[in-house]
Amino acid sequence: MLQEGYTNHKGKAFKIPGLFSWNVFLSGSELVEEVRKASEDRLSARERISDILKLKYTLGHEIMDNPYHIPIILTQLTRNLAARFPDILDEIKASFDDNIQLNGHEWGSVPAFETVVRVVCRTSNRVFIGLPLCRDPDWNDLVSGFSLDVVKTAAMIDLFPEFMAPLVGRLLSKLPQSVQRGMRLLRPIIEERQKYLDDYGSDWYEKPNDMLSWLMDKAQGEERSAQNLTKRVLATNFTAIHTSSVIFTHALFHLAANPRYIKPLRDEVETIVEKEGWSKAALAKMRHVDSFLKETLRFDGLTFISMLRKAMTDFTFSDGTFIPAGCTVTVASSPMHHDSEIYADADAFVPFRFANEKQEGEQPWQQMVSTNPQYLAFGHGRNACPGRFFTATELKSMLAHVVVTYDVKFEDEGVRPTSVSFGTANSPDTKAKILFRKRVE
Render pLDDT for 160-196 as a digit per residue (tens, 0 to 9): 888 898 899 889 988 899 999 999 999 999 999 999 9
Q: Specify if 313 maps to a domain.
A: no
| Phi and psi angles of residue 5, each rounded to the nearest 5 degrees, phi first | -65, -40
Please indicate, yes or no, if residue 36 is contained in any of the structural domains: no
- The three-state secondary structure class of 16 is strand
User: Does residue 45 belong to any structural domain of this protein?
Assistant: no
CB 254 within 8 A of CB 349: yes
Q: Are residues 384 and 274 in contact, defined by beta-carbon separation less than 8 angstroms? A: no
Return the CATH number at 362. Answer: 1.10.630.10
| Total number of domains in the chain | 1
The answer to whether the CB of 48 falls within 8 A of the CB of 309 is: yes
| Binding site, annotated residues | 385
Helix (H) or strand (E) holding 273: helix 262-276
Domain presence at residue 195: yes
Among 368, 366, 359, 404, smallest CA distance to 388 is for: 368
Q: Show the domain range for 364.
A: 68-302+338-438
Average pLDDT along the chain: 93
Residues annotated in a binding site for heme: 385
- Determine, yes or no, domain membership for 328: no
pLDDT (tens digit per residue) in 67-105? 999 999 999 999 999 999 999 999 999 999 999 999 988
Residue pair 183/99 in contact (Cβ under 8 Å)? The answer is no
d(CA 112, CA 89): 20
Residue 318 inside a domain? The answer is no
- Specify if 53 maps to a domain: no
Residues 127, 396: Cα–Cα separation, whole Å: 16
The pTM assigned to this predicted structure is 0.94
Per residue in 330-346, pLDDT tens?
999 999 999 999 999 99
